[in-house]
Amino acid sequence: MKRVLTALLKSACIIALLLCGVGAQAQGNLVTGTVRDTKGEPVIGATIIVAGTATGATSGIDGRYSISAAPDATLEISFIGYKKQEVPVGSRSTVDVTLEEDALLVDDVVVVGYGTQSRRT
């Protein structure tokens, strides 16, 4: 009876160790980097998301970020007024990104507060 309990305890420990290794592998590596604009200035508050997951981060005051991503993952970096970029992680632990401005031409902007007015006015 004692041998059976000892064998079961050893088997349970081995299975637990194997499952811990699988969980650590699924989390991915820590990826760090900097988000800058075309002038080289840091982009504060840019959103960095691992595509297809709920994992995300934002860039800090110096444009730096860190996020956990698997080597086969793709990072989606976006910020208002800039074009969204998708960058594959691969074997890199540092992914620096330069965002390009996304200029939209607007013909007319009509802002009316409190009341109604015709466009002609």
Full DSSP string of 38-81: TTS-B-TT-EEEETTSS-EEE--TTSEEEEEE-TT-EEEEE-TT
Model pLDDT, residue 103:
74
Domain ranges of the chain: 29-99
Q: What are the pLDDT digits (tens) for 1-27? A: 556 545 545 554 465 545 544 444 445
Q: Which residues of the chain have pLDDT under 50?
A: 5, 8, 12-13, 17, 20-26
Alpha-carbon gap, residue 79 to 81, rounded angstroms: 6
The two three-digit tokens of residue 53, written as one number? 């997951």
Model pLDDT, residue 54:
87
- Determine whether domain 29-99 maps to CATH 3.30.420.40: no
Q: Is the pTM of this model over 0.85?
A: no
